[in-house]
Chains A and B, each alone.
Chain A
Amino acid sequence: MRTSAEIFLLPNGTFFVEFAVFVFIVFALTKWIIPPINKAMEERQTQIRTSLEAADVARTQAAAADTERRAALDEGRRQAGEIIAQAQSDRSSIVEEARREASEAAALVTVRAEASMNSERASALASLRREVGTLALTLASKVVGESLADDARARATVDRFIADLEAQANGASN
């Protein structure tokens, strides 16, 4: 017993068994256990890199889409403003045009009415003048007892009388 205690620091046959066990463990790790870990970790890194790149692309696209949206919105606003301004100017020109047409039509109507009034007045005056002349001659014929109808002088006298009457009437109304 004492001898074995003295030499327990020296290796014995166990060394070869332990050597084999240890070499097998390293072999198993190298061959079967480490490669799957390595592969899984590399795959994960690839996945992470890919998804980061995809996220970058998506972010760029989102930014581009946002810029486009803003541009479209600005363009829309600008067009809306133009349309409103155009509509306002159209409205005032339409109103102006309508007003002008209406006043022109009104003026035309007035002119026509005045013209027809004047002509009617003139014709009424002429017919009245003829009537009054005829009546006066008829009256004078009855008074004188002879026909004065064909006498040019008598007609001129009547006309002058009527003209004097008109002058008097005008003078009275003024």
Chain B
Amino acid sequence: MDFLSNHLLAEATIEVGEHPMQILVLGMKVNLDIVFASLVAALIVLALGFLMRRKVTSGVPGKLQLFWETLFEQIGGIAESAIGPQGRRFVPLAMGLFLFILICNWIEIIPSGHNPEWFPAPTSDVNLPLAMAVVVIFLVHYNSIKARGTKGYFKHYLEPYPVMLPINIIEEITKPITLTFRLFGNIFASVLMVSVITALLPIFLVPVGELIWKPFAMFIGAIQAFIFALLTIIYLGIGMSTEEH
């Protein structure tokens, strides 16, 4: 049994939410592995952007430019249909969300052979989804006040009936929380699944389990990135709509 648990079973315990490198800055813990992985993901996004920018042409676009243009066109179309013509302003935000979350979700696919992974998905840590949700919700409320005026913004909480005020307030509070935990929960579960596969399967079956799981995890990662960007656009659209209900 000792041989089995030491050699054939990869790990005996599943550790959750552990960060191998943490430092204290101004009395707050900073998860260095998450910071490192998100910086790598940010570098990838920016590198893709600046590589495209160097060769950008109004003639026949290259593959990279075509990728950016397609994304721009698709997200622009969604933004325009949800928010209106002024929705084009939010395309960089939505594109940034989609691409950055996508790369963050996919970065954990790279197996470092270490436990914990050298490149954990930064989205599997609550801090990054929360940071993005805070930015999004701040922009939603800011643009809502800009579009409706302060009076219109507060009046909206009393619609359709004043009795709905508590529900409307709760809805606005839950928006950033659901936005955060939808992404975090999905990717965290995906990472946890890898740990479960590693821990529970015999070691010679671990690669098979990962081969099956990781494409699915990539699929989930893409879906979650899209959902986050889409919900951002929808929240902005709802917040900026001036139609009477």
Contacts and interface: CB of A to CB of B under 8 A. Distances in A.
B53 A33 contact: yes
Interface stretch (A37-45, A60-68, A101-109): A37-45
B92 interface: yes
Interface stretch (A1-9, A92-100, A137-145): A1-9
B25 A40 contact: no
B113 interface: no
Contacts of B142: none
B95 interface: yes
Contacts of B127: 11-12, 14-15, 17-18
Interface stretch (B2-10, B29-37, B200-208): B29-37
A21 B96 contact: no
Contacts of B25: 13
Contacts of B212: none
A38 B17 contact: no
B131 interface: yes
- 6 closest A-B pairs by CB: A8-B17, A13-B28, A43-B58, A33-B49, A14-B127, A19-B131
Nearest to A46: B58
B108 interface: no
Nearest to B125: A14
A16 B3 CA distance: 45
Interface in B7-35: 15-18, 24-26, 28-31, 34-35
B126 interface: yes
Contact of B49 (A32, A40, A43, A47): A32
Contacts of B57: 40
Nearest to A34: B92
Contacts of A8: 16-17, 126
Contacts of A21: 38-39, 42, 131
Interface residues of B, number: 48
A16 B131 CA distance: 7
Interface string B153-182: 000000000000000000000000000000
A33 B52 contact: yes
Contacts of B118: none
B69 A32 contact: no
A5 B132 contact: no
Contact of A29 (B15, B34, B39, B92): B92
24 contacts: A5-B17, A9-B126, A11-B130, A13-B26, A14-B30, A14-B35, A14-B125, A14-B127, A15-B130, A17-B35, A18-B35, A18-B128, A21-B39, A22-B96, A22-B100, A22-B132, A29-B96, A32-B53, A33-B53, A34-B72, A36-B52, A37-B69, A40-B58, A40-B65
Interface in B96-131: 96, 100, 122, 125-128, 130-131
Contact of A28 (B46, B68, B69, B126): B46
Give the residue among A14, A17, A25, A37 with the most B Cβ atoms within 10 A.
A14
